[in-house]
Amino acid sequence: MAAPRSALTRTPAGKLRARGLGVPFDGVPGENNAITDVAGVAVGYATLIRGAGALEIGRGPVRTGVTAILPRGRADLAVPAFAGCHSLNGNGEMTGFIWIEEAGRLDGPITITNTFSCGLARDATLRWLLERYGSALTATHGLPVAAETFDGYLNDINGFHVATEDVFAALDGAGGGPLEEGSVGGGTGMICYDFKGGSGTASRRVELCGRACVLGVFVQANCGDRKGLTIAGVPVGRHLSGPAAAPAERTDGSIIAVVATDAPLLPHQLRRVAQRCGLGIARSGAVAAHGSGDIFLAFSTANAAAFAPGATFRAAEFLPDERIDPLFEAVVQATDEAMMNALMANETMTGRDGHVVPGLPHAEVRALLAKHGRLAE
């Protein structure tokens, strides 16, 4: 069944998505073209926007937030998931990375925020688990995943404005269905290709060994520079008019990508899926610069029974390695589209000290795509 056109072209708040502008993409999207198309996956946001004018550390202006991803939703939060991760360039942070590499499993929620709030998000997640589920769950889920990208050009990052209650709000508010994108959650203060970036998502339907499966990607996009921006193969960044979004002294950004799938995969296969996020990012022109933290995580919601309690042998279903290529293709496509959605579902933002980051100029992009014959039919 085809996805509803409204979900493909607009966010719930009516923001334009990349397909709504006419950007062509390969592959078949899921119902909402979002990571939440993988059954059970839930996403929540806490968005902090307040203040204007000159920076006063500790007072603002504030342009930041938290994103929460529950791999199995609230009902099955205690059930781990097979997982794998990959660092394309390691100038960034993702807590819990070492345990995922060691054990091949993801335990509990994922949070994404700004660089200086990553530790708080990790600790607040543990507090949330303790308060909502009790000590039994925190004992086995004591290494939660918290990841970050830097929002200090727009946000009073030294003011540490993300609080424990914000992390709680994102976790408590996590749900399924269509998602908002752009300047929401952890992506609120982010910059991508020198335009306003942030949170984006996309999904793909694939058939594997005769079974219909879904793969979804969520990105917090804060990477790349304008000259590299490429959309549907067109180097639009070189031809867009107007001033650059940020001065030369702005440091390289980063990107966090989270991949979910209901395809039955083992940890080594999920690590390989995570690696392919880098190919999706490269499609739009990012190069994983020295100062960029490009860190990816992939998990599977299949094989829940493999984590049942008890000291006995377990069985796990898995896709043969030689049949994994459709998933590789899907993650490349969905990562590229998620980045485009983070850019498209956005608008100009003014942050601390009057710093302005423009939204991507939709009409100009559409005209460039039309000139090169790259508008979707």
* Conformation bin of residue 233: beta by default, left when phi > 0, alpha when psi is -120 to 50: left
Determine whether 203 is an active site residue. no
165, two tokens: 């209650």
Instruction: Give residues with Cβ within 8 angstroms of 257, minimum separation 6.
Output: 217, 218, 219, 274, 277, 280, 281, 295, 296, 297, 335, 338
Determine whether 325 is an active site residue. no
90, two tokens: 């390691």
d(CA 376, CA 274): 28
> How many whole angstroms from its chain centre is CA 114?
13
Determine whether 292 is an active site residue. yes
Catalytic residue among 107, 166, 194, 294: 294
Catalytic residue among 87, 183, 254, 284: 254
d(CA 259, CA 208): 17
Place of tokens 């991803």: 69
d(CA 148, CA 374): 34
Write out the catalytic residue numbers.
254, 292, 294
